[in-house]
Amino acid sequence: MRFALDSSHEDFASSIDALLAKSDLPAVVRSWAAGDTGPGLKVWQRLAEVGVGALLVDEDHDGLGADALDLVVAMEQLGRHAVPGPLVETVAVAPILLAAVAPDRLSALASGELATVAAAPHVPYAVDADVADLVLHVGGGTVSTGTAGDARQSVDPARRLHAVAAADTLGDTDFGAAFDYGALATAAQLQGLGRTLLDTTVEYAQQRKQFGRAIGSFQAVKHHLAEVAVGLEMARPLLLGAALAVRDGAATASRDVSAAKVACGEAAYRAARTALQVHGAIGYTLEHDLSLALTRVRALVTAWGTADVHRARVVDALEDAS
């Protein structure tokens, strides 16, 4: 099985990266956290213009009809830049749910509307429901529009969590596929965040000096950064392999998604801890941009299924196959 991305995927990733690099995302994220979502919504609209919101929407509803691999490519870049808002829910989950129960609503997603989803027990709260154009509630396989309750603060100040009450029923569907897409997209975000943390920390280690030498020249620091790099590189094939399994409808898709979620989560969390150690005291300050990635990783590690949930899914799949 070939895991390397082809030139079309690389070009798509580069276009998203270039767009976000010009958008001053640290300021956008801080504004979003402070309640000013205007700058963030402008970024979302620009992303919609390059087709991010339309990836999993079929062509009959003004979408691109792309697949899980395209999704991972996009979500990894959105993670690298810590884009705020209900990324996973809008780009990955809502299109799957709406295609099954309300396809007439898909065109709005493709044009740039935001959606969020609550689906207990693994997704008990909807992210940024106060900003989303469409709030969905999933319970017992029934998909409904939802009414958002009061916001609860996440460990990430740029993520507001809302309990959701079911309103109008849209239809019934198996939530399993949507959950797999949500976990896959979250894993891709974590992979992107981990890479940003590594790159930022390497750059800092090359500039910060102690005892007349850059701290990056010290063997202990090199070892920590090498472990982060190895973890991210080992997680990426699992992520791409899971995307291929989902795309091809493989029987092992759910297992592969869970393995990728665990691996990417652990790699990103290791990157966050190492980044904090290498940066030292400045890494603890909210004023430093490092904090934006640190808190996002901490929030996403348990989003769309904790590590325990996904490890259990892998074990169950292996036992069933034996």
- Per-residue pLDDT tens for 188-213? 999 999 999 999 999 999 888 788 88
At residue 1 the predicted structure's pLDDT band, cuts being 50, 70 and 90, is: low
- The pLDDT assigned to 212 comes to 82
Could you give the C-alpha distances from 34 to 131, 291, 317, in angstroms and in order? 13, 15, 43
At residue 219 the predicted structure's pLDDT band, cuts being 50, 70 and 90, is: confident
pTM of the predicted protein model:
0.96
For residue 114, pLDDT over 80 is answered with yes
* DSSP state, residue 175: T
Share of the chain above pLDDT 90, in %: 89
Write out the E strands in 119-226: 126-127, 134-139, 142-153, 160-172, 209-210, 213-214
Delineate the domains of the chain, giving CATH numbers in brackets.
177-321 (1.20.140.10)
Which tens digit of pLDDT belongs to each residue from 259-309? 999 999 999 999 999 999 999 888 878 889 999 999 999 999 999 999 999
The token pair at 194 is 């981990």
- The pLDDT assigned to 145 comes to 97
For residue 84, pLDDT over 60 is answered with yes
Give every CB contact of residue 53 below 8 A, 6+ residues apart in sequence: 44, 47, 90, 91, 109, 110, 111, 112, 113
Give CA 147 to chain center in angstroms. 24
Which tens digit of pLDDT belongs to each residue from 155-177? 999 999 999 999 999 999 999 99
